[in-house]
Structure 1
Amino acid sequence: MRKFGVILALTMTAVLTSGCWPYYPAPCPAIAQATVVSLTVAADYAPAVKGVRLKACQDGSCKEADLELFPGSTTVDQGCERGPYGPDRVCSATSSPDGTKMGNLMLDTLTDSPMDVTATVTTTDGRRVPVRTLRFTPRGVYAYGEQCGRFVSAAVVLDATGLRQAG
């Protein structure tokens, strides 16, 4: 009977103390989601584009504005310093112009329901190019894991043939 009492005491102690460990959820970055439709004007079409008016409609709500276009860039890997056990030291990268133009249309909300985007282009010689329209579904991903919430992004590419969803 004495053995049973000792085993019972040890078991209860193990059960009760295991619940005392603090729970540390996985950390999430303090990053707010931007509710925008981002537009990239392809490098081969960008020299001909002076301005873009973008209209986006989703869930019965539309937003329209002339975009402020700025030069696009790409990231160039500059490698990592080698340490005594391999590339375990400082790594770096830089941005380099890639010939594209970028712009963003701010929205009140952004969901993963289908969206209609219309682009009206003004060329560098002042002509208006016929309106281009695209219907697509913004992408939602758990970029930092399911515990950190879902990020929805809407991005399109404009080239001489029209609009397409960014890959």
Structure 2
Amino acid sequence: MGRIGLALTLAGTAALLPGCFAEPVACPAIGHVAGVSLTVAANYADDVASLRLKACQDGICTDKDLILHPGATAVDQGCTPDGVCSATSSPDGTLQGFLELPALSESPIEATVTGASLSGTALPESTRTFTPKGDYPFGEQCGRVTIAALALDADGLRQL
């Protein structure tokens, strides 16, 4: 093979090489706030006027009154023939609160909820020790996300 043939072979091979490497995957530019989310069940929400959440992890405790917002669920509105899909948000009767933590790991958290009913009486105190869950919702290349989520109803706290 002459020099021109060798040069063409090398140029052709070089042109094919990028196809042998994985393309970089874009990760969503979504910030993740470390903390514990709390959902008050719909069948208990009418009894709740205010809640205070205390969460202790790795010897550090954070404690504050929660700002409670109405919860909602996504309702599928279907897809058009050209593939455009949509959904809407619909109130589901729950209440949602969030306690921001300085850091969140996958070590156990002891959470305690206290509060008041609409009539002003104290709600039963509820304590639960649970372990936050870690996952890769956007793939391993985008990093691990740790989630700490609880639900509160008349029976007390449970992990979601």
Per the normalisation by structure 2, the TM-score is: 0.88
Alignment partner, residue 165 of structure 1: 159
* 2:95 matches 1:95: no
What's the counterpart of residue 65 of structure 2? 66
**Offset at 1:82?**
1.6
Equivalent residue runs for 1:1-167 within 5 Å:
24-83=23-82, 88=83, 90-166=84-160
SS in 1 for 2:61: strand
Deviations, residues 121-164 of structure 1 (Å, cap 9, x unaligned): 21111111231001111111100100000010111000000000
Classify 1:91/1:19 alpha carbon distance in 2 versus 1 (closer, same or farther; 3 Å): closer
> Over residues 49-75 of structure 1, what are the superposed CA-to-partner deviations in whole Å (9 max), with x where a residue is unaligned?
000000001111110000010100111
Deviation at 1:36, TM superposition (A): 1.6
Alpha carbons of 1:108 and 1:49: their partners in 2 closer, same or farther (altered >3 Å)? same
1:16 Cα shift? Answer: 6.2
Gaps of 5+ in 1: none
Whole-angstrom CA distance in 1 between matches of 2:11 and 2:44: 71
Specify the code of the residue in structure 1 equivalent to 2:126.
R
Tell me which amino acid in the other structure corresponds to 2:148. A
- Structure 2 letter corresponding to 1:55: K
User: Where does structure 2 lack aligned partners over 5 or more consecutive residues?
Assistant: none
1: distance between equivalents of 2:75 and 2:31? 26
**Stretch of structure 1 that moved more, 123-132 or 154-163:** 123-132
Q: Distance in 1 between matches of 2:18 and 2:81?
A: 43
Equivalent residues, number: 159
Instruction: Give, in whole Å, the separation in 1 of the partners of 2:137 and 2:129.
Output: 24
Q: Please give the alpha-carbon distance, in whole angstroms, between the structure 2 residues aligned to 1:101 and 1:16.
A: 59
Compute the displacement of 1:20 (Å): 5.9
Give secondary structure in 2 for the equivalent of 1:44.
helix
State the alpha-carbon separation in 1 of the partners of residues 104 and 97 from structure 2: 17
Indicate how the Cα distance of structure 1 residues 59 and 14 shifts in structure 2: closer, same or farther if over 3 A, else same.
farther
| Paired letter, 1:142 | Y
Q: Distance in 1 between matches of 2:75 and 2:15?
A: 51
TM-score for both structures, normalised by structure 1: 0.84
The two structures, once aligned, show a CA RMSD in angstroms of 2.3
